[in-house]
């Protein structure tokens, strides 16, 4: 298996895709054959996380999406609404196949919503993280309330023997006391390093790759 990382979130809309795109693009700029993998995309169209990663990296080779579903719901629920079969084994095998691809040096798997999101059958996103056996990076909001959500997410991963390599607080502005104190508190509560990613002025390749590269130590995350 190639070097790999699973980017998980405390919720939907916390910035997993931006972080995934930044990590993938940062590695590719340094000559590493990195590929982002989205197991399932709901709300398609217009939502297309794999396409965003490809746009940031400037090539379709930078990302793959295994299944796309139209309803903006949890994958299991979206598949049920569409009357289509969504197999957990298909998603697990698809991720493993891409991670084992000889052309991929580093695989970055992006989660769907939070860890307890129903994925397929009776399996949830956290099952995929654990079954793939990948280390995880947790992406969280920066403001009030993130301490609880982040600590619970880290604890859930560790209960499944998932190695947590760090936390990223996204859209960090330090505008209030909660945001200014949250990085140190998250590190104290979880025992893991915490990076802060400020709001990006423009969502383009330079700002995403440079921003994520400055917020976290990418090389150590995927070592």
DSSP 123: E
Query: Does 126 appear as a known binding residue?
Result: no
C-alpha separations of 152 from 2, 115, 168 in Å: 29, 10, 15
Question: Is 129 among the annotated ligand-binding positions?
Answer: no
Report how far apart the first and last C-alpha atoms of the chain are (Å, whole number).
13
Other Cβ atoms within 10 Å of 4 Cβ, number? 23
25 labeled binding residue:
no
Task: Tell me whether residue 100 is annotated as binding.
Answer: no
Q: Is 206 annotated as a binding residue?
A: no
> Is 218 annotated among the ligand-binding residues?
no
The answer to whether the annotation marks 16 as part of a ligand binding site is yes
Is 118 part of any known ligand binding site?
no
Helix (H) or strand (E) holding 8: strand 3-9
Catalytic residue status for 38: yes
Q: Does 216 appear as a known binding residue?
A: no
Q: Is 55 annotated as a binding residue?
A: no
Is residue 210 annotated as involved in ligand binding?
A: no
Consult the annotation and say whether 72 binds a ligand. no
Among 71, 19, 83, residue whose Cα is nearest residue 222: 19
Question: For tokens 């002025």, what's the residue?
Answer: 201
Return d(Cα 155, Cα 205) in angstroms, integer. 33
Q: Say if residues 223 and 105 touch (Cβ distance below 8 Å).
A: no
Catalytic residue from among 38, 76, 123, 192:
38
Q: Is 66 annotated as a binding residue?
A: no
Spatial CA neighbour of 105 closest among 52, 208, 31, 163: 31
Pairing of strands 63-68, 34-41: parallel
What is the four-CA torsion angle of 73, 208, 21, 58, rounded to 10 degrees?
A: 120
- Binding region: 13-18, 42, 49, 110-113, 170-171, 198-200
- Binding region for substrate: 42
- Binding region for ATP: 13-18, 49, 110-113, 170-171, 198-200
- Residues acting as catalytic residues: 38
- Binding region for Mg(2+): 17, 49, 110
């Amino acid at each position: 298996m190639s070097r790999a990382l699973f980017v998980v979130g405390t919720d939907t809309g916390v910035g997993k895709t931006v972080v995934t795109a930044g990590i993938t693009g940062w590695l590719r700029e340094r000559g590493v054959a990195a590929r982002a993998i989205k197991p399932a995309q709901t709300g398609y169209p217009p939502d297309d996380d794999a396409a965003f990663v490809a746009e940031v990296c400037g090539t379709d080779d930078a990302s793959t999406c295994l299944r796309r579903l139209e309803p903006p719901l949890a994958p299991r629920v979206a598949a049920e609404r569409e009357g289509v079969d969504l197999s957990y084994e298909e998603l697990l095998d698809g991720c493993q196949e891409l991670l084992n691809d000889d052309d991929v040096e580093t695989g970055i798997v992006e989660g769907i919503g939070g860890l307890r999101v129903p994925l397929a059958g009776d399996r949830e996103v956290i099952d995929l993280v654990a079954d793939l056996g990948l280390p995880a990076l947790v992406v969280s909001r920066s403001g009030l309330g993130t301490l609880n959500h982040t600590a619970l997410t880290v604890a859930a991963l560790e209960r499944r023997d998932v190695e947590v390599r760090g936390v990223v607080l996204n859209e960090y502005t330090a505008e209030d006391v909660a945001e200014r104190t949250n990085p140190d508190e998250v590190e104290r509560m979880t025992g893991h390093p915490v990076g802060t990613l400020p709001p990006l002025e423009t969502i383009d390749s330079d700002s995403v790759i440079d921003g994520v590269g400055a917020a976290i130590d990418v090389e150590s995350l995927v070592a």
